[in-house]
Amino acid sequence: MKGLLFTNLYLVHRSIFVYTLIGIGLTAFYLKLTGGAYAVFSAITLCIVITMPVWEILKVEAQSGYNKYLLTLPVSRKNIIQSYYLVYFLVVVIGVILFVGILYIYGLFSEVSIELSLFQTIAYTILSMLTLGGIIFPLIFILGEEKSDFILLLSLLFMGLVVNSLRLGVDYVIDQLPLLKFNLNPLKQVPFIFLLIGILIFLISFFISFFIYSKKEF
Protein backbone atom coordinates (compact mmCIF):
# COMPACT_ATOMS: atom_id res chain seq x y z
CA MET A 1 0.00 0.00 0.00
CA LYS A 2 2.78 2.44 0.92
CA GLY A 3 4.61 1.48 -2.26
CA LEU A 4 1.58 2.35 -4.38
CA LEU A 5 1.19 5.65 -2.57
CA PHE A 6 4.82 6.67 -3.06
CA THR A 7 4.79 5.51 -6.69
CA ASN A 8 1.73 7.60 -7.47
CA LEU A 9 3.27 10.65 -5.84
CA TYR A 10 6.59 10.11 -7.62
CA LEU A 11 4.89 9.90 -11.02
CA VAL A 12 3.64 13.46 -10.75
CA HIS A 13 5.80 15.09 -8.07
CA ARG A 14 7.11 17.67 -10.54
CA SER A 15 3.58 18.48 -11.71
CA ILE A 16 2.42 18.84 -8.11
CA PHE A 17 5.22 21.35 -7.49
CA VAL A 18 4.40 23.37 -10.63
CA TYR A 19 0.64 23.37 -10.02
CA THR A 20 1.22 24.32 -6.38
CA LEU A 21 3.15 27.41 -7.48
CA ILE A 22 0.39 28.28 -9.96
CA GLY A 23 -2.28 27.77 -7.30
CA ILE A 24 -0.45 29.94 -4.77
CA GLY A 25 -0.06 32.69 -7.36
CA LEU A 26 -3.73 32.58 -8.36
CA THR A 27 -4.89 32.55 -4.76
CA ALA A 28 -2.69 35.49 -3.75
CA PHE A 29 -3.82 37.45 -6.81
CA TYR A 30 -7.49 36.73 -6.15
CA LEU A 31 -7.24 37.66 -2.47
CA LYS A 32 -5.56 40.92 -3.45
CA LEU A 33 -8.14 41.58 -6.16
CA THR A 34 -11.17 40.96 -3.95
CA GLY A 35 -9.74 42.15 -0.66
CA GLY A 36 -10.37 38.72 0.84
CA ALA A 37 -14.11 39.03 0.29
CA TYR A 38 -14.42 35.58 -1.29
CA ALA A 39 -11.95 33.54 0.71
CA VAL A 40 -13.90 30.31 0.24
CA PHE A 41 -13.68 30.61 -3.53
CA SER A 42 -9.94 31.30 -3.25
CA ALA A 43 -9.43 28.20 -1.11
CA ILE A 44 -11.40 25.96 -3.46
CA THR A 45 -9.56 27.36 -6.48
CA LEU A 46 -6.20 26.60 -4.87
CA CYS A 47 -7.22 23.03 -4.03
CA ILE A 48 -8.65 22.40 -7.51
CA VAL A 49 -5.43 23.59 -9.14
CA ILE A 50 -3.06 21.52 -7.03
CA THR A 51 -5.18 18.35 -7.34
CA MET A 52 -4.91 18.45 -11.14
CA PRO A 53 -1.86 16.12 -11.12
CA VAL A 54 -3.95 13.42 -9.41
CA TRP A 55 -5.97 12.99 -12.59
CA GLU A 56 -2.68 13.03 -14.50
CA ILE A 57 -1.64 9.93 -12.52
CA LEU A 58 -4.59 7.98 -13.89
CA LYS A 59 -3.99 9.23 -17.42
CA VAL A 60 -0.24 8.44 -17.36
CA GLU A 61 -0.86 4.95 -15.98
CA ALA A 62 -3.45 4.22 -18.68
CA GLN A 63 -1.29 5.55 -21.53
CA SER A 64 1.82 3.67 -20.40
CA GLY A 65 -0.01 0.47 -19.56
CA TYR A 66 1.13 0.68 -15.94
CA ASN A 67 -2.46 0.19 -14.73
CA LYS A 68 -2.41 -3.27 -16.32
CA TYR A 69 1.00 -4.02 -14.83
CA LEU A 70 -0.37 -3.15 -11.37
CA LEU A 71 -2.78 -6.07 -11.61
CA THR A 72 0.16 -8.51 -11.88
CA LEU A 73 1.63 -7.27 -8.59
CA PRO A 74 0.74 -8.79 -5.20
CA VAL A 75 -1.69 -5.98 -4.39
CA SER A 76 -5.45 -6.09 -4.37
CA ARG A 77 -7.65 -3.88 -6.50
CA LYS A 78 -8.97 -2.41 -3.28
CA ASN A 79 -5.45 -1.25 -2.37
CA ILE A 80 -5.03 0.29 -5.81
CA ILE A 81 -8.22 2.32 -5.38
CA GLN A 82 -7.23 3.27 -1.84
CA SER A 83 -3.91 4.65 -3.08
CA TYR A 84 -5.69 6.96 -5.56
CA TYR A 85 -8.12 8.23 -2.95
CA LEU A 86 -5.36 8.72 -0.35
CA VAL A 87 -3.19 10.69 -2.77
CA TYR A 88 -6.13 12.93 -3.60
CA PHE A 89 -7.02 13.43 0.07
CA LEU A 90 -3.40 14.23 1.00
CA VAL A 91 -3.14 16.82 -1.77
CA VAL A 92 -6.41 18.42 -0.62
CA VAL A 93 -5.04 18.65 2.93
CA ILE A 94 -1.86 20.24 1.57
CA GLY A 95 -4.01 22.74 -0.33
CA VAL A 96 -5.96 23.67 2.80
CA ILE A 97 -2.74 24.13 4.81
CA LEU A 98 -1.27 26.29 2.05
CA PHE A 99 -4.40 28.42 1.96
CA VAL A 100 -4.27 29.03 5.71
CA GLY A 101 -0.62 30.07 5.33
CA ILE A 102 -1.39 32.38 2.41
CA LEU A 103 -4.28 33.92 4.35
CA TYR A 104 -2.07 34.51 7.37
CA ILE A 105 0.65 36.17 5.29
CA TYR A 106 -1.97 38.23 3.44
CA GLY A 107 -3.29 39.45 6.78
CA LEU A 108 0.18 40.56 7.86
CA PHE A 109 0.78 42.73 4.79
CA SER A 110 -2.76 43.89 4.08
CA GLU A 111 -4.65 46.73 5.69
CA VAL A 112 -7.90 44.99 4.78
CA SER A 113 -9.49 42.94 7.54
CA ILE A 114 -10.82 39.62 6.34
CA GLU A 115 -14.14 38.94 8.03
CA LEU A 116 -14.66 35.19 7.93
CA SER A 117 -14.95 32.11 10.07
CA LEU A 118 -11.75 30.28 9.16
CA PHE A 119 -12.98 26.91 10.36
CA GLN A 120 -16.19 27.28 8.37
CA THR A 121 -14.17 28.26 5.29
CA ILE A 122 -11.94 25.21 5.69
CA ALA A 123 -14.90 22.90 6.27
CA TYR A 124 -16.74 24.21 3.20
CA THR A 125 -13.57 23.84 1.11
CA ILE A 126 -13.06 20.24 2.25
CA LEU A 127 -16.73 19.46 1.56
CA SER A 128 -16.38 20.88 -1.95
CA MET A 129 -13.16 19.03 -2.72
CA LEU A 130 -14.28 15.67 -1.30
CA THR A 131 -17.50 16.02 -3.28
CA LEU A 132 -15.52 16.82 -6.42
CA GLY A 133 -13.24 13.83 -5.95
CA GLY A 134 -16.22 11.69 -5.07
CA ILE A 135 -17.80 12.53 -8.41
CA ILE A 136 -14.70 12.32 -10.60
CA PHE A 137 -13.22 8.97 -9.56
CA PRO A 138 -16.24 6.77 -10.39
CA LEU A 139 -16.80 8.61 -13.67
CA ILE A 140 -13.18 8.10 -14.71
CA PHE A 141 -13.35 4.38 -14.00
CA ILE A 142 -16.58 4.16 -16.01
CA LEU A 143 -15.79 6.43 -18.97
CA GLY A 144 -12.02 5.98 -19.14
CA GLU A 145 -8.94 7.91 -18.08
CA GLU A 146 -8.50 9.55 -21.49
CA LYS A 147 -11.69 11.53 -20.87
CA SER A 148 -10.48 12.89 -17.52
CA ASP A 149 -10.36 16.53 -18.74
CA PHE A 150 -13.99 16.46 -19.87
CA ILE A 151 -15.00 14.61 -16.70
CA LEU A 152 -13.27 17.28 -14.57
CA LEU A 153 -15.19 20.11 -16.24
CA LEU A 154 -18.48 18.25 -15.93
CA SER A 155 -17.77 17.35 -12.31
CA LEU A 156 -16.96 20.95 -11.40
CA LEU A 157 -20.42 22.02 -12.53
CA PHE A 158 -22.07 19.13 -10.73
CA MET A 159 -20.00 19.74 -7.60
CA GLY A 160 -21.16 23.36 -7.49
CA LEU A 161 -24.77 22.24 -7.77
CA VAL A 162 -24.46 19.55 -5.10
CA VAL A 163 -22.49 21.64 -2.59
CA ASN A 164 -24.74 24.69 -2.92
CA SER A 165 -27.82 22.47 -2.53
CA LEU A 166 -26.29 20.90 0.59
CA ARG A 167 -25.42 24.33 2.00
CA LEU A 168 -28.96 25.60 1.46
CA GLY A 169 -30.39 22.40 2.91
CA VAL A 170 -28.20 22.55 6.02
CA ASP A 171 -28.99 26.25 6.52
CA TYR A 172 -32.71 25.50 6.25
CA VAL A 173 -32.54 22.66 8.78
CA ILE A 174 -30.47 24.79 11.16
CA ASP A 175 -33.05 27.59 10.93
CA GLN A 176 -35.83 25.15 11.84
CA LEU A 177 -34.04 23.70 14.88
CA PRO A 178 -34.12 25.56 18.22
CA LEU A 179 -30.35 25.27 18.64
CA LEU A 180 -30.07 28.35 20.81
CA LYS A 181 -32.29 26.73 23.44
CA PHE A 182 -29.65 24.03 23.82
CA ASN A 183 -26.80 26.56 23.91
CA LEU A 184 -25.59 25.40 20.50
CA ASN A 185 -24.03 27.93 18.16
CA PRO A 186 -24.91 27.24 14.48
CA LEU A 187 -21.62 28.83 13.37
CA LYS A 188 -19.77 26.14 15.34
CA GLN A 189 -22.03 23.22 14.40
CA VAL A 190 -22.38 23.82 10.65
CA PRO A 191 -18.67 23.26 9.81
CA PHE A 192 -18.78 19.86 11.53
CA ILE A 193 -21.87 18.97 9.50
CA PHE A 194 -20.09 19.98 6.29
CA LEU A 195 -17.08 17.85 7.21
CA LEU A 196 -19.22 14.81 8.01
CA ILE A 197 -21.18 15.12 4.76
CA GLY A 198 -17.96 15.49 2.75
CA ILE A 199 -16.40 12.42 4.38
CA LEU A 200 -19.58 10.42 3.82
CA ILE A 201 -19.70 11.36 0.13
CA PHE A 202 -16.01 10.45 -0.26
CA LEU A 203 -16.48 7.06 1.43
CA ILE A 204 -19.54 6.21 -0.68
CA SER A 205 -17.58 7.20 -3.77
CA PHE A 206 -14.71 4.92 -2.74
CA PHE A 207 -16.98 1.88 -2.49
CA ILE A 208 -18.63 2.72 -5.82
CA SER A 209 -15.20 3.08 -7.48
CA PHE A 210 -14.01 -0.19 -5.95
CA PHE A 211 -17.09 -1.99 -7.23
CA ILE A 212 -16.59 -0.57 -10.74
CA TYR A 213 -12.83 -1.27 -10.74
CA SER A 214 -13.28 -4.83 -9.46
CA LYS A 215 -15.57 -5.60 -12.40
CA LYS A 216 -13.40 -3.83 -14.95
CA GLU A 217 -11.55 -5.87 -17.56
CA PHE A 218 -8.37 -4.41 -19.07
pLDDT in tens, 58-101: 888 777 777 777 777 777 888 889 989 999 999 999 999 998 88
What confidence score (pLDDT) does residue 1 get? Answer: 60
Contacts of 32 (CB under 8 A, 6+ apart): 106, 110
Among positive and negative, which fits the CA dihedral 209, 212, 214, 217? negative
What confidence score (pLDDT) does residue 187 get? Answer: 59
**C-alpha closest to that of 131 among 87, 161, 153:** 161
Question: What percent of the chain is modeled with pLDDT above 90?
Answer: 23
Distance of alpha carbon 44 from alpha carbon 22, whole angstroms: 14
Does pLDDT of 186 surpass 70? no
- 106, 25 Cβ separation under 8 angstroms: no
pLDDT higher at 114 or 106: 106
Does pLDDT of 170 surpass 80? no
pLDDT higher at 188 or 28: 28
pTM equals 0.86
Contacts of 131 (CB under 8 A, 6+ apart): 159, 162, 163, 198, 201, 202
What confidence score (pLDDT) does residue 206 get? Answer: 95
What confidence score (pLDDT) does residue 174 get? Answer: 67
